[in-house]
Every structure is written in structure tokens, then in C-alpha cells.
């Protein structure tokens, strides 16, 4: 009997409990495959995040891809596949740096993404997040009884693959091909429209409706679920059904801008700040409610380390973290390159004797506040899932605090460019904290997967460090490629580019608006305060619902207010598809229900990857040709029929998605083996 058959004959959880068995786990081929998967999904997530404001978790598609590819080489097992998905999952979270970092380009402080500074932000922030997650594992993953939904789902996928699910790779690649072709027809050739929109004036009040035709966004909605989609739609209803009509009715009307432009301007300049207020209150409430859990996590980690190295070696393999002494040492060592980054970043500013104070305060703030945010995100990821973890809220809260703190420290010391430098420093600091919290959040989810498949924690932590390293090296060139090909809304790299095709980078634009408004004293605090009041009401509602086992996250409502309307509506279609498919599968067996869920996850992930990779390839084509929309030879070829043909294709995608995800007959079951 070979190693693989021996593993298959053992029940989950039985492997190597006494340390007597040695199963391949952390291997060179696994690390190389994990690096490739990291780059592929990093590319997809960067494009989707800058275009729509939404990124997706890469753990499950990485696990699917790993199982299919490693099976070709033979000798792979569940532990090796788990290491690959752990490393590849860094692509889904390290990309959250785009929530803030593009703001440095939007304000003109950067004119691109300098390689070493961008890499340093991602690498230092990511490694700090990894270090912070290690002492939190024992309390949050092992001791808190938290479900960690995505981590549990990834473990189910790995167990299914071990049991012989062989059709996953073909479904994933087929969906990627379909998503890529549709993306090519819309974004590339401009043969099909990307969506439909309409603005309605009722007296002086403006109402707007819009939807996109993106299969990738439908996939996002399927993955986050109907509950999160309903919360997003509640934010849309508040923004476009209440706030925009009221503000346009009592704010001077349309003027000469036109109805749609006026509605968009009110949403961009005012309504999104209401959403920011909701998110900030939700994030503060989350952190305040976790104080006891955070302290308990730290005490638990140091308690486990009191017995020294001998006691650590006596632990079962499945409970061995990297030693806490290494963690403490790494924390101190990472403070040094962090301080260097702030020194290098401030080199051109006229700070006088305040440079040392800036470096010290920024370093201490990042290290201390970053830990609180990492713990908060990790706890919420366990409770509600990574999709509901408040990464955007962390960015907004950090930006608010840093924008209030740094002007007190620096004043006008930086000369004529002082305000812009202070805003840039705020955005840099927030970028690092967001990266730290994101990686801690992801690692705890991965460690839950590892717990369920009997993996070794310290090996997973090494794999995630490798994923952070690979991801940090490719983020800067990918961001530069996308920026030079499309530009950002409000910041185009050269004259003559199409503003309509620019990447919105919605979160970065909002963070920049908040930081600049506070530093210059121009932030409409009435909008933020209104959001804060709404946030308090929504938090009270969330707490009440949580006691009855239901969820309506206030943070997600706020996110629905500041994401573009067409993005949220398209995402909601995916959530509806998932709910309808699950409803149809209720009467099926557990195996059929699990098969339907796996097919749905694979389709959603394939749509995301296919459309996003095509978007990046189109960016490369534009960069090489030196002009925007270089492949748009079919633009306006169909005239007014383009939007309606796009709608027909979109409805076909929705129908096919539902049929495949809810299929229950024998042919459908064979498709997942």
C-alpha cells in the first residue's frame, strides 16, 4: 500500500496524532505551485478590486486548482494541498492594500507605484499580520468555538478532493473561459455593453437605477451569500432611494450638469461619507466588544510557551505554532524596516526636527493599533466569515484617527506642500495597518482549515509567509500596469485617455477624500455624523439579531452605500442565484447538496478569475500599444442594440449558473467526481 492509499484509508483527524507518521506537507513543488497560484489570483483580485471595490477569497479556488494540478504529478495528499491553498490565499488578502494605497496616486504624491516602497508596504504589513495571528490562534481558532465559515468550507473541499472529486478543475476552467470571453466582448472589443442605467427626476429629486452585466460580480454575490447581499442592498436603498433624492431635492437641483452627473456628484461627495460614518461606528463597536477576547488570546499564547522548547516538542504536531519567542523577536525586528520605510517616505519633506517624532509615532501607532485591528478582524472572520470582516472599516477608522493625529504632530512644518505630505503619510500608515489586519484575518481562517484536516500550524505559517513574499513582489508591477493602461478616476497617467474607462478604485478614493478633508478642515462632518447616528442604530439592530442567531451587519450596509450602484445590484443577482439554488436542493440528499454547493463555488470562482485575467491582459495590450481601448474595434458596431444584447447574454449566464448549481440528477453528480 502506498502513502496515498494509506491516507485515504484513515479517517479525517486520525493522521499522525502521535507523531509516528510522516506525510508530505511542506514541499518544494507545493511552494512553487502555491507561488504560481498566488500570482494568478493576485492578478485577478487587483483588477476586480480597483474596478469594483470587491475582492474575493482565494482559499477555495486555490484548493480546487491545487488538487487538480498536483494529482497530475502523483503522490499528493490533503496536507500538501492545504499548504498550497494556504499560500495561495495570500492573494485574496494582500490585495486589500488597494483599499488605501492608490490614494497616493490620486493626490499626486506618487505618479505610479515605486517598486521598493510598494513592496515594503505589502511585505512589512503582511509579515506583521502573520506574526500577530500566531498568538491569537490558540484562543480564537481552538478555544473560542468560532465557526470560521470559509475555513470550514475549504476543509470540506479538501476532504472531498481526497475522496475523489475529479471534475472540479474542468468546471473551474470552463467558467473561467466563459467569464473571459464575456469580458473580452465587453471591456475589450466593446461589442456588448457593460450594463444598463437610468436616472429619473421626480420634481427636483433624482433617483437612479443601474446594473452591470459582469459574471464575475455574480460570482462574488454567490460566494458572499444572500444575507450579505441584502445588507448591501439596504445600503443601496439608503443611498439612492433616500439620501440622493433628499440631497438633490433640497440642495439646489440639477443645475447645468445633467441629471445623471448631478446624482453621481451628490453620491460621490456626500452620500459616501454617510456610509463611512456607518462603517466607522461599526468598526469601533467591534473593537470595543473584543477587549476581553484579545487579552485572553495573549495570555493563552504566553501560557502555552511557559514550558519552553521541551514542552513545545511534547505537543502533538497539530498544535505546534512557531515559538512565541520567535514571534516576539520578529515583532521587534519588523519594527526596524517599518521605521526605515517612514524615514525613506518622508525624505523629501521639510519636517525639520519633527522627522524623528513622525517616525516614532507612526511606527508605534502601526504596531500597536495594527494588533488591535488584527485581533478584531480575526474574531469577526471566525464569527461571520472573512466576507463580513470589516477590512474597509479598519481602513476608514485608521484613516480617521491618523488624519486627526498627524496634523497635531506635524502642524505646518512641511512647508508649502505640507498638507499633501500629511495626507500622503496618513494614507501610507493606513495602508500598512489594513495589510496587517487582512493577513491576520486570512491566516486565522487558514489555520481553522488546517485544524480540520490535521495540518501542522507552523508549516502553514511558513507557507503564508512565502505567499506574502511572492505577492508583495508582484503587486507593484501589476498596479503600475493597470494604472498606465486604464488610469484611476480623477488621476489619469497621460492626456487623451478615456475617463469613462478609468478604474474607479472606490475605497481608495473614499479614504483620500476623508484624509484630505480632515487635514484641510473641509470634511463635511454633518454627513459623517449622520452616518454615525445611523451606524449606532444599525449596530443596536445587529446586536439584537445576533442574539437570536441572525445577522445583519452594519458594516456591510455602510459598504453598500459607498460602492457603485451597478456593482452592488450585480452582486445581489449572485446572492439570489445562490439562495434559489439552495432552496431547490433542500429536498436532495446531503451528498447532492454538497455537490451543488461545490459546483456553484467553482463556477463563481471561475467567472472571477476568467474576467479578471482578461482585464489584466487587456491592460497589457493597451500598455504595449500606447493607447487606451486598443482592441475596441467593435465599439458602437451594434448601436442601440449593444445594451440589450448584453442583457440577453447576462440572463443566459444567470440561467446557466442556476441550473448547474442546483442540478441534482445522476449526470450532475457525475460532473463533480
Lowest mean pLDDT among 267-271, 282-286, 406-410: 282-286
Task: Identify the top-confidence range among 62-71, 536-545, 663-672.
Answer: 536-545
Mean pLDDT value of segment 354-371: 88
**C-alpha to C-alpha distance for 657 and 596, rounded to whole angstroms:** 11
Higher pLDDT, 29 or 328: 29
Residues 6+ apart with CB under 8 A from 495: none
pLDDT above 90 as % of the chain: 19
| Residue-level pLDDT at 431 | 95
Q: Is 524 exposed, middle or buried (0-12, 13-18, 19+ CB in 10 A)?
A: middle
Mean pLDDT value of segment 334-354: 85
Mean pLDDT value of segment 544-569: 81
Indicate the SS3 state at residue 112: coil
pLDDT class for 479, splitting at 50, 70, 90? Answer: very high
| Residue-level pLDDT at 140 | 72
Strands (E), 19-125: none
**C-alpha to C-alpha distances, 334 to 129, 282, 363, nearest whole angstrom:** 11, 30, 10
**C-alpha to C-alpha distance for 120 and 133, rounded to whole angstroms:** 20
Higher pLDDT, 407 or 319: 407
pLDDT class for 222, splitting at 50, 70, 90? Answer: confident
Mean pLDDT value of segment 362-377: 85
Mean pLDDT value of segment 244-253: 81
Q: What's the grid cell of residue 355?
A: 522627522
**C-alpha to C-alpha distance for 440 and 592, rounded to whole angstroms:** 34
**C-alpha to C-alpha distance for 376 and 379, rounded to whole angstroms:** 5
**281 neighbors 542 (Cβ within 8 angstroms):** no
**C-alpha to C-alpha distance for 571 and 223, rounded to whole angstroms:** 10
Higher pLDDT, 212 or 170: 212
Has residue 2 got a pLDDT over 80? no
How would you label 245-263 residue by residue, b for 16+ Cβ within 10 Å and e otherwise? bebbeeeeebeeeebeebb
**C-alpha to C-alpha distance for 142 and 178, rounded to whole angstroms:** 41
Has residue 670 got a pLDDT over 60? no
Has residue 103 got a pLDDT over 90? yes
pLDDT class for 448, splitting at 50, 70, 90? Answer: confident
Taking residue 144's Cβ as centre, other Cβ atoms within 10 Å add up to: 18
pLDDT class for 224, splitting at 50, 70, 90? Answer: confident
**C-alpha to C-alpha distance for 195 and 645, rounded to whole angstroms:** 10
| Residue-level pLDDT at 256 | 52
Q: What's the grid cell of residue 596?
A: 451543488
Question: 660, 528, 531: which is closest to 585 by C-alpha?
Answer: 660
Average pLDDT of the chain is: 80
**C-alpha to C-alpha distance for 423 and 520, rounded to whole angstroms:** 9
**170 neighbors 65 (Cβ within 8 angstroms):** no
Mean pLDDT value of segment 254-266: 75
Higher pLDDT, 317 or 609: 609
Has residue 324 got a pLDDT over 50? yes
pLDDT class for 12, splitting at 50, 70, 90? Answer: very low
14-39 confidence digits (pLDDT tens): 444 444 445 678 888 888 998 988 88
Task: Identify the top-confidence range among 134-148, 219-233, 384-398.
Answer: 219-233
**84 neighbors 66 (Cβ within 8 angstroms):** yes
Q: What's the grid cell of residue 31?
A: 511552494
Q: What's the grid cell of residue 567?
A: 456593482
Q: Is 402 exposed, middle or buried (0-12, 13-18, 19+ CB in 10 A)?
A: buried
| Residue-level pLDDT at 104 | 94
Has residue 413 got a pLDDT over 70? no
Rounded to two decimals, the pTM is 0.77
**C-alpha to C-alpha distance for 80 and 475, rounded to whole angstroms:** 26
Has residue 377 got a pLDDT over 80? no
71-91 confidence digits (pLDDT tens): 777 777 888 888 988 888 877
Mean pLDDT value of segment 303-312: 56
Q: Is 595 exposed, middle or buried (0-12, 13-18, 19+ CB in 10 A)?
A: buried
| Residue-level pLDDT at 646 | 87
| Residue-level pLDDT at 120 | 94
Has residue 396 got a pLDDT over 90? no
| Residue-level pLDDT at 533 | 94
Task: Identify the top-confidence range among 372-381, 516-525, 610-619.
Answer: 516-525
**C-alpha to C-alpha distance for 281 and 273, rounded to whole angstroms:** 12
Give kind and range of the element (H or E) at residue 210.
strand 205-212
Higher pLDDT, 9 or 536: 536
For residue 9, how far is the Cα from the chain centroid? Answer: 37
| Residue-level pLDDT at 409 | 83
Higher pLDDT, 164 or 156: 156
| Residue-level pLDDT at 346 | 85
Mean pLDDT value of segment 228-249: 91
Mean pLDDT value of segment 458-480: 90
Higher pLDDT, 274 or 1: 274
Has residue 404 got a pLDDT over 50? yes
Has residue 183 got a pLDDT over 60? yes
**C-alpha to C-alpha distance for 587 and 324, rounded to whole angstroms:** 49
How would you label 403-421 residue by residue, b for 16+ Cβ within 10 Å and e otherwise? beebbebbeebbeeebbbb
pLDDT class for 602, splitting at 50, 70, 90? Answer: confident
Mean pLDDT value of segment 610-628: 73
| Residue-level pLDDT at 301 | 58
Amino acid at each position: 500500500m502506498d502513502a496515498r492509499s494509506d491516507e485515504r484509508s484513515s479517517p479525517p483527524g486520525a493522521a499522525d496524532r502521535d507523531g509516528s507518521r510522516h506525510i508530505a506537507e511542506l514541499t518544494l513543488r507545493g511552494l512553487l505551485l502555491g507561488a504560481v497560484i498566488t500570482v494568478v489570483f493576485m492578478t485577478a483580485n487587483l483588477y476586480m478590486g480597483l474596478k469594483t471595490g470587491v475582492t474575493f477569497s482565494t482559499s477555495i479556488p486555490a484548493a480546487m486548482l491545487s488538487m487538480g494540478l498536483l494529482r497530475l504529478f502523483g503522490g499528493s495528499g490533503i496536507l500538501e494541498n492545504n499548504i498550497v491553498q494556504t499560500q495561495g490565499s495570500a492573494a485574496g488578502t494582500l490585495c486589500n492594500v488597494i483599499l488605501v494605497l492608490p490614494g497616493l496616486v490620486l493626490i499626486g504624491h506618487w505618479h505610479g507605484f515605486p517598486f521598493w516602497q510598494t513592496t515594503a508596504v505589502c511585505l512589512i504589513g503582511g509579515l506583521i499580520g502573520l506574526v500577530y495571528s500566531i498568538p491569537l490562534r490558540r484562543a480564537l481558532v481552538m478555544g473560542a468555538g468560532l465557526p470560521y465559515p470559509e475555513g470550514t468550507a475549504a476543509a470540506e473541499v479538501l476532504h472531498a478532493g481526497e475522496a475523489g472529486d475529479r471534475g472540479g478543475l474542468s468546471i473551474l476552467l470552463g467558467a473561467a473561459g466563459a467569464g473571459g470571453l464575456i469580458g473580452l466582448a465587453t471591456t475589450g472589443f466593446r461589442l456588448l455593453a457593460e450594463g444598463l442605467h437610468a436616472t429619473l427626476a421626480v420634481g427636483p429629486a433624482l433617483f437612479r437605477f443601474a446594473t452591470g452585466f459582469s459574471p464575475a460580480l455574480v460570482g462574488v454575490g454567490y460566494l458572499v451569500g444572500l444575507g450579505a447581499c441584502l445588507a448591501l442592498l439596504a445600503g443601496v436603498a439608503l443611498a439612492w432611494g433616500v439620501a440622493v433624492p433628499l440631497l438633490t431635492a433640497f440642495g439646489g437641483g440639477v443645475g447645468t450638469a445633467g441629471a445623471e452627473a448631478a446624482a453621481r456628484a451628490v453620491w460621490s461627495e456626500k452620500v459616501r461619507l454617510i456610509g463611512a460614518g456607518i462603517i466607522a461606528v461599526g468598526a469601533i463597536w467591534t473593537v470595543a466588544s473584543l477587549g476581553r477576547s484579545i487579552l485572553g488570546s495573549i495570555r493563552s499564547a504566553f501560557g502555552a510557551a511557559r514550558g519552553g522548547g521541551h514542552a513545545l516538542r511534547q505537543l502533538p504536531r497539530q498544535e505546534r505554532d512557531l515559538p512565541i519567542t520567535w514571534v516576539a523577536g520578529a515583532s521587534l525586528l519588523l519594527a526596524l524596516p517599518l521605521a526605515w520605510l517612514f524615514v525613506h517616505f518622508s525624505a523629501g519633506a521639510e519636517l525639520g526636527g519633527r522627522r524623528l517624532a513622525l517616525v516614532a509615532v507612526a511606527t508605534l501607532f502601526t504596531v500597536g493599533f495594527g494588533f488591535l485591528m488584527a485581533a478584531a478582524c480575526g474574531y469577526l472572520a471566525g464569527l461571520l466569515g472573512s466576507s463580513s470582516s470589516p477590512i474597509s472599516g479598519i481602513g476608514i477608522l485608521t484613516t480617521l484617527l491618523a488624519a486627526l493625529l498627524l496634523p497635531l504632530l506635524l502642524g505646518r512644518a512641511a512647508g508649502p506642500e505640507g498638507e499633501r505630505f500629511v495626507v500622503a503619510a496618513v494614507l501610507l500608515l493606513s495602508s500598512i495597518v489594513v495589510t496587517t489586519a487582512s493577513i491576520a484575518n486570512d491566516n486565522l481562517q487558514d489555520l481553522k482549515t488546517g485544524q480540520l484536516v490535521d495540518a501542522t500550524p507552523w508549516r502553514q505559517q511558513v507557507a503564508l509567509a512565502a505567499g506574502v513574499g511572492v505577492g508583495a513582489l508582484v503587486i507593484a508591477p501589476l498596479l503600475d500596469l493597470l494604472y498606465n493602461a486604464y488610469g484611476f478616476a480623477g488621476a489619469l497617467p497621460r492626456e487623451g485617455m478615456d475617463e469613462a474607462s478609468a478604474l474607479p478604485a472606490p475605497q481608495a478614493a473614499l479614504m483620500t477624500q476623508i484624509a484630505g478633508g480632515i487635514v484641510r478642515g473641509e470634511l463635511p462632518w454633518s454627513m459623517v455624523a449622520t452616518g454615525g447616528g445611523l451606524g449606532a442604530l444599525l449596530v443596536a439592530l445587529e446586536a439584537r439579531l445576533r442574539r437570536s442567531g441572525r445577522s445583519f451587519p452594519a458594516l456591510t450596509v455602510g459598504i453598500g452605500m459607498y460602492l457603485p450602484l451597478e456593482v452592488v445590484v450585480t452582486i445581489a443577482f449572485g446572492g439570489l442565484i445562490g439562495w434559489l439554488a439552495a432552496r431547490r436542493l433542500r429536498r436532495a440528499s446531503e451528498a447532492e447538496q454538497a455537490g451543488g454547493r461545490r459546483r456553484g463555488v467553482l463556477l463563481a470562482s471561475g467567472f472571477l478569475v476568467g474576467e479578471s485575467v482578461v482585464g489584466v491582459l487587456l491592460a497589457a495590450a493597451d500598455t504595449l500599444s500606447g493607447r487606451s481601448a486598443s482592441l475596441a474595434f467593435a465599439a458602437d458596431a451594434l448601436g442601440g442594440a449593444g445594451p440589450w444584447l448584453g442583457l440577453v447574454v447576462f440572463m443566459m449566464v444567470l440561467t446557466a449558473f442556476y441550473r448547474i448549481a442546483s442540478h441534482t440528477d445522476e449526470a450532475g453528480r457525475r460532473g463533480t467526481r
